[in-house]
Amino acid sequence: MSAVQAAVPRTPTRTDLDNPALAIAAVGSCGLLVALLQTMVVPLLPQFPALLSVSASTASWLVTATLVAGAVSAPVLGRLGDMYGKRRMLLVSVWIVLGSSLLAAVAPNFAVLLVARALQGVSFGVIALGMSLMRDVLPPERVGTGVGLMSSSLGIGGAAGPPLTGFIAQHGSWRVLFLAVAAGALVLGLLVPRFVAESRVRTGGRFDTIGAVGLGIGLVCLLLGISKGSAWGWSSAATLGSLGAAVVVLVLWGYYELGRRSPLVDLRVSARPAVLWTNVATVLLGFSIFATFVMATQVLQAPVGTGYGFGLSITLAGVLLLPIGGAMVVFSSVSARISQARGPRTTVLLGAALLTLGNAGFALLPSSLWPAIGTATVGAIGAALAYSALPLLIMRAVPETETAAANSMNTLMRQLGTSTITAVAAAVGAAMVVEVDGQLLPSGGAFTVSFLAASGAALLALVVAALTPAPREEPGEADAVRPACAAR
């Protein structure tokens, strides 16, 4: 009997789901809640310096801390999910969201709020855990829909966050935002055990604590260097030191992981061409998708005097971009149908093509409002298609016992792409400015360059995905995972 077979319990917690639609809704809502956490404070960043008596650069750590904590925790939660149960770790993440949101709501000062935001970042592993859980417990014909919705929840939450934040910020306190998130986490913490079965696929083994610490240090250094490079200066000792330390630590970490019998991340599986190049395409797509979600909002809110902006309020800009969220909901289901009929690679290629066109169209900075909204929606459709199909490519290429860890790494690749375009946009925006009413703002040329870079990244992702070889089944792997599949 193989190690994987031995890891599958003989007594299932539930032979099948009573209602797969409710399971998809419950797990997908967890992803949506976490996605809201990523973007909901962004519109409030200009207000936090006055509200919390800190500088603008200090207030930006409310986003940076969450990003870094999420990048570090995602692989750890993924591995723990593979070892001890994906639903169990999903619930742990939801309860962390509840506690950290309550802490944020009552935070007496910036330091406590920063700690709460870092704890919220720990929950970002929910996306990968949810996708892998759906593979394990859903009927085969519903897996594509469930994974697509879970994967797209990042974009749906990103689109819904700004209008929600804007409305509450204009009519109430920012603390209400965190209370609302806490209430949502409480509801989901009660619903998930009721409607979602626990995965019966486990790897067992001992947790790689040294590997987790090493990866955490490497990722913290890498993401700090990327995300704060524009503020610190790209040639500063802090930036170069962070990036240099990241390279050294991650190389040593990789060497250590290759020698482990039960590593945090199985680098040999990650090095398979089908996995490696899918992750490369994911970085590029993460780079491209950020432009659709965030820079489009900045263009809509920029003063008319810039020559490209529309001068909209936070709330109105968010409301006008709601079609982005709606498109992602609809096309996450469309993505599942395309993937089932033509394969997930075809879906990724179509999504990358639409992202290429959408970002290229926005690079022209449409002078009318509705063409701008339409162009952003095209990019959002591309994001929904690509993001929904990428996890399916990963799950086809890895053993069933590695799905949570592999999806966590894929989610991390998205965050690396997002962090990189954030740094690029900030650097270009600082170098190309226009003065409006005594205030220096990014010029139209800065947005053109950034959108063109995003379009080029999507085009390169299309080429990489097209050339990525199909996953190759390793000897004995099919036999190892077949009992788990048959159990469903």
**Tens digits of per-residue pLDDT, 99-143?**
999 999 999 999 999 999 999 988 888 887 888 788 777 787 777
Upper half-sphere CA count for residue 487 (Cβ side, 13 Å): 23
Using alpha carbons, select from 351, 355, 350 the residue that is nearest to residue 291.
Answer: 355
Token reading at 369:
């409002």
pLDDT interval class at 462 (50, 70, 90):
very high
Is the pLDDT assigned to residue 486 strictly greater than 70? Answer: no
pLDDT interval class at 97 (50, 70, 90):
very high
**φ and ψ of 439, to 5 deg:** -115, 135
Q: Is the CA virtual torsion 476, 480, 486, 488 positive or negative?
A: negative
Please write the tens of the pLDDT for every residue from 186-233.
999 999 998 888 877 777 678 888 988 998 899 889 888 887 887 788
Q: pTM for the complete prediction?
A: 0.79
Compute the average pLDDT of residues 259-277.
85
Is the pLDDT assigned to residue 263 strictly greater than 90? Answer: no
Is the pLDDT assigned to residue 483 strictly greater than 80? Answer: no
Sequence length of the chain is 488
State the pLDDT at residue 189: 93
Q: What is the DSSP letter of 401?
A: G
Compute the average pLDDT of residues 160-186.
80
Is the pLDDT assigned to residue 307 strictly greater than 50? Answer: yes
Compute the average pLDDT of residues 401-413.
78
State the pLDDT at residue 241: 95
**Considering the chain, what percentage of its residues have pLDDT values greater than 90?**
25
State the pLDDT at residue 265: 80
- Following CA atoms 8, 14, 19, 25 in sequence, which dihedral angle do they give, to the nearest 10 degrees? -60
Instruction: Calculate the average pLDDT of the chain.
Output: 82
Is the pLDDT assigned to residue 482 strictly greater than 50? Answer: no
Please write the tens of the pLDDT for every residue from 47-57.
788 888 888 77
Is the pLDDT assigned to residue 488 strictly greater than 60? Answer: no
Window from 179-183, 320-324, 339-343 with minimum mean pLDDT: 320-324
Window from 5-9, 67-71, 92-96, 429-433 with minimum mean pLDDT: 5-9
State the pLDDT at residue 448: 93
Token reading at 76:
């750890």
Q: Is the CA virtual torsion 58, 64, 65, 66 positive or negative?
A: positive
State the pLDDT at residue 356: 96
State the pLDDT at residue 158: 65
